[in-house]
Amino acid sequence: MSKSYKREKPKNNFDCIIIGSGMSGIGLAAILAKEGWQCLVLERHYTPGGFTHIFKRRDYEWDVGIHYIGEVHRKQSVLRQMFDYVSDSKLAWEAMDDNYDRIYFGKEYYDLMAGKENFIAKLVTYFPEESANIENYVSLIKAGMNAAKNYFMEKALPPIVSKFMGNSLRKKAMEFNQATTKNVLDSITKNEKLKGVLAGQYGDYGLTPSQSSFMMHCGVVKHYLNGGAFPVGGSAAIFDTIEPIIEKAGGVVLTNAEVEEIVVENNKAVGVKMTDGHIIKAPKVISSAGAEVTFNHLLKGVNKLKDQQKATEKVPASACHVCLYVGLNADQQTLQLPKTNYWIYPENGYDHDKTMNEFWDNPDEAPFPVVYISFPSAKDPTWEKRYPGKSTIEIITISKWNWFKNWENTDWHKRGVDYETFKEQISKRLLNYLFEYVPQTKEYLDVYELSTPLSTKHFVNYQKGEIYGLEHTPKRFEDKSLRAITPIKNFYLTGQDIVTAGIGGAFNAAVITASAMLKKNMMNKILSSKANEARKLN
């Protein structure tokens, strides 16, 4: 069980300090623990887990960042083997319906189906004349992800090795990195509706087709091509099954443990200074707190980091969001909620860039450019036993940091009447979407609560309330400075900013950073370890 830093100060007897207990932080700590390392994981929030944590209100709980994860319901997939490795196979997954995503444009909808052949076949029923183009699209998605393997592997290399090998490892992927999603879709088809449908999951990385790197788009589509799954027991099960691995090796996860700065002496990281002034020392320090916070706050004023600091200026923060957490006073049998996610776009809003621009120009009157509705209580097979007679829904849309900036310096739950009024306006608009698309929920509405970018900053410490770290533009993927090994000796970076957005991206970053620290290919070790276990079982 994680402990509170306020109750007990740790001693200087750890092999490393990891800042942040999100997926990359705890994933890295568990990988290192299996190599015999004692890791101290410091979490500023009172609940561990980063975007994998849950919160409770009355008779409900909600998952703040996990809505669905791809590949993990397939036992032989790489991501499933990674999770099995760091949880000793204790983390269980429940597959969603084969129809994992439904893309709405007004009331017209298109279903995305699990499995490459099913995915293609279903889209062809909507666009029979586009069969060859759809197959070409899927082939490009797979080619993009194949090219990405060397691109991300390069981020674990020492700088001197990267100098000689880096460009050749990155070259193929850069063809996909430098193209926008719009460029590629325009090259595949002239059918505007098909382009709108194929880009219908852009909310998973928060950028419209004309802005996003096609590499990021490839990552999301390929990740879910075989469907989605949900952690059994809710997303808190991720941390709960991984933490014992860290503790077994003598490691500790501390909450309420905010780091003020990384202590650097003679260009060498030697520990961290907490906000209460206490200094904790360790031979190695790793930040899972995001590139912007790491290089502009925790290492502010440290020399030799100009390239990293420039990267955070050159590549802006990703999208902000608001999320409405809804509690319903009825069970699944009554409500028949789907396991399918709904992506809702305006009627005839197939041009995502156009609808987004219209919304930014007139956010009070224009429809939301995207609304995502997830049904977590329907996805978790343990829910009804844990919360009988209750159900939950989460509704998300995009927002801007400056809408909430006036309340930036106010305290959580004490931001004033104007703030609550603004939140209520947004909440009512989102509830209208829920009642239109899932009308059976209206009479059972019990509670709802809106989180804003201020909530994201307060709990996750992203400075502008962003959810996906640095935005995933071609410019972001051109950067060579955000990598596991930094110019500061014994200091390493991990997290989604060295790979891509999402739980899978963050977890892969943990493997990359572990490989860099241990000077061996930890992905190969994870996969060979799981293969050996499978052989023993057979």
pLDDT one-digit tens code per residue, 317-351 = 898 999 999 999 999 999 999 999 999 999 999 99
Checking if the pLDDT of 395 tops 70, the result is: yes
Distance CA 18, CA 288 (A): 7
Classify residue 485 by its DSSP letter. B
What is the model's pLDDT at position 2? 80
Q: What would the mean pLDDT of 182-200 be, rounded to a whole number? A: 98
Total length of the chain: 538
pLDDT digits (tens, 9 = 90+) for 143-153: 999 999 999 99
Checking if the pLDDT of 380 tops 50, the result is: yes
Residues in CB range of 72: below 8 A, 6 or more apart: 79, 80, 83, 93, 229
Domain spans, the chain = 3-53+232-315+469-537
Q: The tokens of 83 are what?
A: 């999770």
What is the model's pLDDT at position 530? 59
Tell how strand 99-105 and strand 108-113 pair up: antiparallel
Distance CA 305, CA 296 (A): 9
Mean pLDDT of the chain: 95
What is the model's pLDDT at position 529? 80
pLDDT digits (tens, 9 = 90+) for 10-51: 887 999 999 999 999 999 999 999 999 999 999 999 999 998
Q: Which H, E and C letters describe 304-317, residue by residue?
A: CCHHHHHHHHHCCE
pLDDT digits (tens, 9 = 90+) for 71-100: 999 999 999 999 999 999 999 999 999 999
Q: Picking from 126-140, 181-195, 307-321, which range would have the lowest pLDDT averaged per residue?
A: 307-321
What are the Cα distances from residue 180, in Å, to 175, 215, 310? 10, 8, 22
pLDDT digits (tens, 9 = 90+) for 443-481: 999 999 999 999 988 888 888 888 899 999 999 999 999
> For the residues of 289-354, what is the DSSP string, one character each?
S-HHHIIIIITTT-TT-HHHHHHHHHS-B--EEEEEEEEESS-HHHH---SSEEEEE-TT---HHH
pLDDT digits (tens, 9 = 90+) for 305-326: 999 999 999 998 898 999 999 9
CATH number of 3-53+232-315+469-537: 3.50.50.60
What is the model's pLDDT at position 537? 55
Distance CA 181, CA 202 (A): 10
pTM, whole model, 2 decimals? 0.96
**Cα dihedral 485, 488, 490, 492 in deg (nearest 10):** -40
Q: What would the mean pLDDT of 210-215 be, rounded to a whole number? A: 97
What is the model's pLDDT at position 413? 83
> For residues 91 and 80, is the Cβ–Cβ distance under 8 A?
no
Instruction: Give the model's confidence band at 134: pLDDT under 50 very low, under 70 low, under 90 confident, else very high.
Output: very high
